[in-house]
C-alpha cells in the first residue's frame, strides 16, 4: 500500500485538531454529515484502505441525502448554532458581551474556517491514494447550490465578521427558531413545520376591515408595542385561519413566528409562553376552531395566558384564535340556573363567566357569511391571480352553480371552485395541444 504523503497527512491532522479545539460551536459537528466527515478523516489518518472506502461512501451518502455540500452544511450549522455566544448575541450588542466569550467565538470561527476549506475533490484523491484504486471516488457536488446571505464567509479571517454573525442571530434567530417559521406543539415540545401553508395576504379577498385590524395589531407586536390577543369569529370557510397563517409568510423576515396548538395540547399554553418569552422573535400562538366544554383544563390554561397571573405578560407573544361560535364555552339548557336551585348562589355569575370568555380577548374580529356579491368578488380575485382564461359571465355563472351544488357561498368554496377550474382548463389546454 502506498501511504499518503506527509503533506497530506498534515492537512488531515490539522482538520482533526481544529475540530477538537472548538469551545462554543461543538454542535456543528454533531450532525450525521459532520460525523461522517470526522470518521473519514480518521480512516485517512490511519491509512486503512478498506475503512477509507466505507467511510467515504457514508460521507457521500450523507451529503446526497441532505442535498448539501460540505461547505454549505458547515455554514448552515454555524448559523443555527445554539450556544452561549449566539444566545447572548440575540439579547444585547456584541460590544457588551464578556470579552472571554468574544475571544472564544473568534477562536472557533477561525477553526471553522479551516474546516470549511476542506474540499471534496481533495478527499476523493486522498482516498484513491490510500486505497490504490485506479479511479478516484465520485466527488459529490451541486451546480446551483444557494448560498447563505452572510458575507463573513468571504472574509480572509472569519473572526472579523463577528458583528455580522451576531446581527444575523438577532434578525433570524438560532436553533429551531432560526430554522423554521411555523411550529406545532407536540409532546410537550416545539416541532418545526418544514412545509407550511404558503397562503399570501394578497390572495385573500373581502373582509378588508378585519384583515386591516389584524395586520395593524401584528405590526404593533413586531414594533415591540403592546399587541392584543385576538379572536377571529365568524362563518366557516370565511378565511379566518388562512389570514392568520398568511401573516407569518408576510412578516417572517421580520422575526414573526407562528405556533399552532391543538385543543388537546392547550393545557401547555403557559409552558409554551415561558419557552419563548426571552426570545427576540415575536410569536403568534394560533388556536384554530376554539371551543370549550364545561370544566375544561384548556379553558383554565387559556384564561391564564389571556389574563395573566403572578408572572408578567410576555410582550413578544399574542394568542390568535378562530372560532365559529361567538360564545366559546358550550352552554346547555341544563346549565341555566333555576329559581329553585340553592346549590350555587352565584349560579348566574358562573354562567356569565362562561359566556363572556370571548371578552377576554382584547380584539374580536367578525367574519360574516358572504353574500352573492362578495362571493363573486372573491372568485374574481382568485381567478385573476390564477390567470384563468375565461370570460367574466361564464366565471360568475359557474361559480354560483358550484356554490349551489357544493358547500354554499364562502371563501373556502371559492378557492375549491378556482382549484377545480384551474385543473379543468389546464387539462383542456393540454388536450388541445396534442
pLDDT tens profile 379-398: 999 899 888 888 888 999 99
Residue 323, phi then psi, degrees to nearest 5: -160, 150
- Percent of the chain residues past pLDDT 90, beyond the cut: 53
The confidence score (pLDDT) of residue 351 equals: 41
Burial bucket for residue 23 (CB in 10 Å: 0-12, 13-18, 19+):
middle
- Condensed to tens digits (0 to 9), the pLDDT of residues 366-380 reads 888 888 998 898 999
- Condensed to tens digits (0 to 9), the pLDDT of residues 261-314 reads 998 888 888 899 999 998 889 999 999 988 766 546 677 778 778 876 667 788
The Cα 295–Cα 284 span in angstroms is 26
Cell of 111: 477553526
- Is pTM beyond 0.75 here? yes
The Cα 363–Cα 213 span in angstroms is 9
Under the phi-then-psi rule, with left for phi > 0, alpha for psi from -120 to 50, and beta for the rest, what region is 395? alpha
The confidence score (pLDDT) of residue 303 equals: 78
The confidence score (pLDDT) of residue 306 equals: 80
Chain centroid offset of residue 218 CA? 17
> What is the per-residue burial (b if ≥16 Cβ within 10 Å, else e) of 191-211?
eeeeebeebeeebbbbbeebb
For the domain spanning 182-367, the CATH number is 3.40.50.300
Q: Out of 22-31, 73-82, 403-412, which region has the weakest mean confidence (pLDDT)? A: 403-412
Amino acid at each position: 500500500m502506498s501511504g499518503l504523503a506527509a503533506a497530506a497527512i498534515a492537512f488531515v491532522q490539522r482538520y482533526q485538531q481544529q475540530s477538537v479545539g472548538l469551545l462554543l460551536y461543538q454542535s456543528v459537528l454533531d450532525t450525521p454529515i459532520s460525523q461522517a466527515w470526522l470518521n473519514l478523516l480518521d480512516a485517512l489518518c490511519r491509512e486503512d484502505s478498506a475503512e477509507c472506502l466505507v467511510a467515504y461512501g457514508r460521507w457521500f451518502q450523507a451529503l446526497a441525502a441532505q442535498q448539501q455540500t460540505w461547505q454549505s452544511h458547515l455554514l448552515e450549522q454555524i448559523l443555527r448554532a445554539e450556544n452561549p455566544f449566539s444566545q447572548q448575541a440575540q439579547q444585547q450588542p456584541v460590544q457588551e458581551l464578556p470579552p472571554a466569550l468574544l475571544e472564544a467565538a473568534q477562536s472557533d470561527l477561525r477553526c471553522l474556517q479551516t474546516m470549511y476549506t476542506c474540499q471534496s475533490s481533495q478527499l476523493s484523491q486522498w482516498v484513491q491514494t490510500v486505497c490504490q484504486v485506479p479511479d478516484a471516488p465520485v466527488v459529490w457536488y451541486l451546480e446551483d447550490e444557494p448560498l447563505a446571505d452572510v458575507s463573513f464567509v468571504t472574509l480572509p479571517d472569519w473572526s472579523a465578521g463577528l458583528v455580522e454573525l451576531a446581527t444575523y442571530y438577532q434578525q433570524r434567530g438560532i436553533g429551531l427558531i432560526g430554522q423554521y417559521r411555523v411550529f406545532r406543539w407536540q409532546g410537550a415540545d416545539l416541532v418545526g413545520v418544514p412545509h407550511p401553508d404558503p397562503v399570501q395576504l394578497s390572495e385573500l379577498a373581502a373582509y378588508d376591515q378585519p384583515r386591516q385590524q389584524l395586520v395593524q395589531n401584528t405590526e404593533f407586536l413586531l414594533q415591540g408595542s403592546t399587541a392584543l390577543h385576538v379572536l377571529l369569529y365568524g362563518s366557516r370557510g370565511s378565511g379566518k385561519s388562512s389570514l392568520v397563517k398568511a401573516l407569518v409568510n408576510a412578516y417572517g423576515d421580520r422575526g414573526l413566528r407562528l405556533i399552532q396548538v391543538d385543543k388537546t395540547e392547550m393545557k401547555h399554553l403557559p409552558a409554551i409562553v415561558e419557552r419563548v418569552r426571552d426570545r427576540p422573535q415575536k410569536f403568534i400562538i394560533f388556536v384554530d376552531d376554539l371551543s370549550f366544554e364545561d370544566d375544561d383544563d384548556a379553558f383554565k390554561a387559556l384564561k391564564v395566558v389571556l389574563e395573566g397571573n403572578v408572572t408578567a405578560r410576555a410582550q413578544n407573544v399574542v394568542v390568535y384564535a378562530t372560532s365559529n361560535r361567538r360564545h366559546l364555552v358550550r352552554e346547555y339548557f341544563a346549565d341555566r340556573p333555576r329559581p329553585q336551585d340553592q346549590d350555587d348562589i352565584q349560579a348566574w355569575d358562573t354562567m356569565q363567566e362562561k359566556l363572556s370568555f370571548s371578552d377576554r380577548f382584547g380584539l374580536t374580529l367578525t367574519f360574516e357569511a358572504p353574500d352573492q356579491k362578495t362571493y363573486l368578488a372573491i372568485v374574481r380575485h382568485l381567478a385573476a391571480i390564477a390567470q384563468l382564461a375565461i370570460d367574466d359571465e361564464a366565471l360568475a355563472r359557474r361559480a354560483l352553480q358550484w356554490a349551489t351544488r357544493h358547500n354554499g357561498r364562502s371563501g373556502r368554496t371559492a378557492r375549491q371552485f378556482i382549484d377545480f377550474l384551474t385543473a379543468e382548463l389546464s387539462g383542456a389546454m393540454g388536450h388541445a395541444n396534442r
